[in-house]
Structure 1
């Protein structure tokens, strides 16, 4: 198993160049086709042209086209520097989340960026990344905005709870897990002295059948600390460079609601996280 088609989300934020460089590195690693998908919000940009007249609309369209062309040129230039030739640029029109979801469903792995509240250009749509992970049906490698990221996957922490989502994430991460130097299957829970064998042992055995030599560990629950925060603390303490986990969420009325660990990761991740739903 390998990733043969990667899709990297491109916007106008300052973090885009980091995502593109990482995506190109992964595309070379797996000899994969890389799609650069330009999808941005026009809402904030449109407010700069409040008057509904032809001249204002023309100016809006011209600046939007200029931004898109700049992103296109930067993507091609990065690919040229990397030497990777199998690339494709897409800039579909329409609601950003809808078109991104449609195009994401035809890729093996998505490379997305964590929303950065300090960079207005990183905003695409409400809960864009989490919604894309839940609706696209494809694994997503989400890159944090607050860290320098090299090619991840040397030391991987698998967050395991025995759920369908966790099982999906582990299966989707196999190409990365097989290439890793060290893999740990980890459960965060309160100590139960008379409990049965930890559920992570079975998945470690399954991984072994796929050539992944994984260890098993139980992270003690820290009083007053959320599970997601405990996972991030463990990843930091032991120098993991990637977390693999299932993503949880549902729609409540018209609002997307994420599970606690998923929400913590989307808001507070400090290393890349591969999520599947």
Structure 2
């Protein structure tokens, strides 16, 4: 995790996300890239939406300048190498374009272009489309302890396997790792059994505890995972993201949507 991309979104929680990103950069001896995105500032005379964007352009530029000025002042007292980038367009597009050589994308759980309504389709879009994992932070997350226990959601799928591999730098530093699968009444075919995931981790020198959670009932798989992580005092949940990119509200699979709709712990996702 040497190259970390952080979304600069002035939603009231950015200062806390910056502290988390700094914790990660220090833990992994990494470089932090802070990206601010704002909407296209141009439109045609007959395009009312484009005209509205054009009218808002000075406001967005002023907000971007204020965020950058504050970040520069804050980072002057930090010991982490960093740079500032700006992009026009939706946050998902800007972050995706800047993520090609990144090891991790960090952003908040609130949707930056929809007045903070959850779930964040930007986070889901990036989890599906980006080649690096996405770390989604709850609003109240102030710091990140890389030694805290981690819960990995495991169902044997390709998505879960990719997430397990992507999380290795975190899992190697965690005090304990729980590989959790959820038993459901409906029979579900999985590609790999739980022990295969444990064997993979063992080959990387990472011990884990295999946990089978009972049928979740009305709380659903997401609720069972959140509850299990809380009981084990986990600092992060790792899971594969399910869905198809670029389908707006329909991007999420059921569990993915539910997890993003109620982010209580840092959530590491990848497709």
Conserved in 1, the CA contact under 8 Å of 2:134 and 2:270?
Answer: yes
> 1:252 Cα deviation (Å)?
8.6
Q: Does residue 235 in structure 1 map to residue 229 in structure 2?
A: yes
Q: Which residue of 2 aligns with 1:39?
A: 37
The aligned length equals 261
Q: Does residue 29 in structure 1 map to residue 27 in structure 2?
A: yes
> 1:217 Cα deviation (Å)?
0.8
Gaps of 5+ in 1: 44-49, 193-197
Separation in structure 2 between the aligned mates of residue 124 and residue 233 of structure 1, nearest angstrom: 20
Q: Which residue of 2 aligns with 1:76?
A: 72
Q: Secondary structure at the match of 1:229?
A: helix
Could you tell me the TM-score, scaled by structure 1's length?
0.83
Q: Which residue of 1 aligns with 2:124?
A: 130
Conserved in 1, the CA contact under 8 Å of 2:111 and 2:118?
Answer: no
Taking only aligned residues, the RMSD between alpha carbons, in angstroms, comes to 3.2
Q: Which residue of 1 aligns with 2:13?
A: 15
Conserved in 2, the CA contact under 8 Å of 1:245 and 1:276?
Answer: yes
Q: Which residue of 2 aligns with 1:46?
A: none
Q: Which residue of 2 aligns with 1:113?
A: 108
Q: Which residue of 2 aligns with 1:195?
A: none
Gaps of 5+ in 2: 42-47, 187-191
Q: Which residue of 1 aligns with 2:83?
A: 88
> 1:222 Cα deviation (Å)?
2.5
Relative to 1, partners in 2 of residues 1:40 and 1:61: Cα closer, same or farther, differing over 3 Å? Answer: closer
Relative to 1, partners in 2 of residues 1:124 and 1:5: Cα closer, same or farther, differing over 3 Å? Answer: farther
Relative to 1, partners in 2 of residues 1:233 and 1:250: Cα closer, same or farther, differing over 3 Å? Answer: same
Relative to 1, partners in 2 of residues 1:30 and 1:184: Cα closer, same or farther, differing over 3 Å? Answer: same
Q: Tell me which of 59, 65, 74 is aligned to 1:63.
A: 59
Conserved in 2, the CA contact under 8 Å of 1:152 and 1:242?
Answer: no
> 1:190 Cα deviation (Å)?
3.0
Q: Does residue 173 in structure 1 map to residue 177 in structure 2?
A: no
Relative to 1, partners in 2 of residues 1:215 and 1:254: Cα closer, same or farther, differing over 3 Å? Answer: closer
Q: Which residue of 2 aligns with 1:156?
A: 150
Conserved in 1, the CA contact under 8 Å of 2:40 and 2:53?
Answer: no
> 1:255 Cα deviation (Å)?
5.0
Q: Secondary structure at the match of 1:218?
A: strand
Separation in structure 2 between the aligned mates of residue 135 and residue 102 of structure 1, nearest angstrom: 11
